[in-house]
Amino acid sequence: GAGVSQTPSNKVTEKGKYVELRCDPISGHTALYWYRQSLGQGPEFLIYFQGTGAADDSGLPNDRFFAVRPEGSVSTLKIQRTERGDSAVYLCASARQGDNEQFFGPGTRLTVL
Amino acid sequence: AQSVTQLGSHVSVSEGALVLLRCNYSSSVPPYLFWYVQYPNQGLQLLLKYTSAATLVKGINGFEAEFKKSETSFHLTKPSAHMSDAAEYFCAVSDRSGGYQKVTFGTGTKLQVIP
């Protein structure tokens, strides 16, 4: 079956602009996670959704970052007033409820000029 | 709090040689431990996981890892390296104290396989 998909695969934007990154989880997976992977680093947790609600957003770096999952499936990560330091690969993962295995998408590479 | 330390950001082995990638963890609760592989421009793929059952865990592509509580280690091994094993490998730890998997990753080890 289809895996986790993320769009766009690459996004180049200018400092100060607004961007949206989309994640389509595996059908039926109620848990959804966003991670950020900076160059030379491992992925860092940003936010976790169980269904429609953000159960843990402790990893969001500041209030410029926001994520939604209005219908409990597709999620959008939103970044306002982008900064060069936001440049990274943003990974999405989904999981079945109660399962300990997360399935990762290919990521969106964000470059802020 | 939980953390993972991967020793060696780059490891080179000859084709056919033993692969050993080191990982030490810190966790305040019994951990779940994972190894993921990442090929260029691809997402993370789970190699294997430890979830408090057998301490020797076998994964895909001939990899295995042993959970050693006394050493707080979860090293990844493969008896004979293949060219296709060249990739970046991430060790990760999580706990379910919050009822979900909050995963903390190491900084990764890039494996180079020399023909």
Give yes or no for A55 touching B (CB within 8 A): yes
State chain B's mean pLDDT as an integer: 91
| pLDDT tens digits along A2-32 | 899 999 999 999 999 999 999 999 999 999 9
Which residue from A102, A103, A105 is facing B103, i.e. has the nearest CB? A102
| pLDDT tens digits along B13-66 | 999 999 999 999 998 777 899 999 999 878 899 999 998 778 899 999 999 999
Q: Using the beta-carbon criterion (under 8 Å), do B98 and A56 form an inter-chain contact?
A: yes
Q: Are B56 and B98 in contact (CB under 8 A)?
A: no
At residue A18's C-alpha, the angle toward residues A16 and A23, to 5°, is: 140
Query: Which residues in chain B have Cβ-Cβ distances shorter than 8 Å to A103?
Result: 46
pLDDT for B98: 63
Q: Are B95 and B104 in contact (CB under 8 A)?
A: no
Query: Which residues in chain A have Cβ-Cβ distances shorter than 8 Å to B30?
Result: none
pLDDT for B99: 65
> In the predicted model, is pLDDT for residue A1 greater than 70?
no
| pLDDT tens digits along A37-78 | 999 889 999 999 998 988 899 999 999 999 999 998 999 999
Sequence-distant (≥ 6) Cβ neighbours of residue A75 within 8 angstroms: A22, A23, A25, A32, A34, A49, A67, A68, A69, A92
Q: How many CA atoms lie within 13 A of A78 on its CB side?
A: 10
